[in-house]
Amino acid sequence: MSDQIAKGDDFQRRAEKKLKGWGLFGSKHEDAAELYEKAGNFYKLGKSWDKAGAVYVKLAECYLKCVSHLEKALNLFMEIGRLSMSARYCKEIAELYEQEENLKQAMVYYDKAADLYQGEEVNTSANQCNLKIAQFAAQLEQYQKAIDIFENIARQSLNNNLLKYGVKGHLLNAGICQLCKGDVVAITNALDKYQDMDPTFSGSREYRLLADLAASIDEEDVVKFTDAIKEYDSMTKLC
């Protein structure tokens, strides 16, 4: 255990040295955060809980300072009209909030990044940010918001040869969110809409899964619900 604690001490010293050095737009705080995290892991392995707790407080402080510096950089690039750089910093701030599991703030900055990417017509990056928003919205039980995003991205992807293969996955995610709302009529209507959007969807495993799940919920048949998930999951993992 003493070896683990010694390694933790070493990483903590390196983190503190990093903070005393020079870094661009908070990069030193980001680097220090990584070192503090490693220190914390070694302290936990060495069962030095007091040191682990103290180092995680420092880790949290680094993340907050990272966000502060990145926001300054973001404001600077917004002022001079560098929208692509602004989008990048919005995304980096969102990722920091995501690491801290602050999903609401992460959504705010992913949304800003998506708007900026769309303004620059970098649609792939915009979609990546929007998918993050949809994911977090679903986790926060904001199902309609998630549904709207998944459906919109599916619609945009239909005529894009590079993106059209992801359409069924987006519609599946939207359908699962419909199911989470507990409205069988809504999911039935959604399936009709998805067939209109993509005529090949009705022959897909994704469609069959959603239809079977909707039927099992309507019939209150737990076994049928479980079997439908097992059958789909045996070929394509849902998680």
pLDDT of amino acid 239: 60
Tokens (6 digits) for 18 = 């990093």
Tokens (6 digits) for 98 = 């995501």
Tokens 């683990």: give the residue: 4
Tokens (6 digits) for 54 = 């103290």
- pLDDT digits (tens), the chain, 239 positions: 678 999 999 998 998 888 887 655 446 777 888 898 899 899 999 999 888 888 877 877 777 777 877 787 788 888 888 899 899 989 989 998 998 889 999 999 999 999 999 999 999 999 999 999 999 999 999 999 999 999 999 999 998 888 888 999 999 999 999 999 988 888 899 999 999 999 999 999 999 999 999 999 989 899 999 999 999 988 777 66
pLDDT of amino acid 62: 78
pTM for the full model? 0.77
**What is the Cα–Cα distance from 63 to 106, expressed in whole angstroms?**
13
CATH of 81-140, one of 1.10.3110, 1.20.58, 3.30.200, 1.10.10: 1.20.58
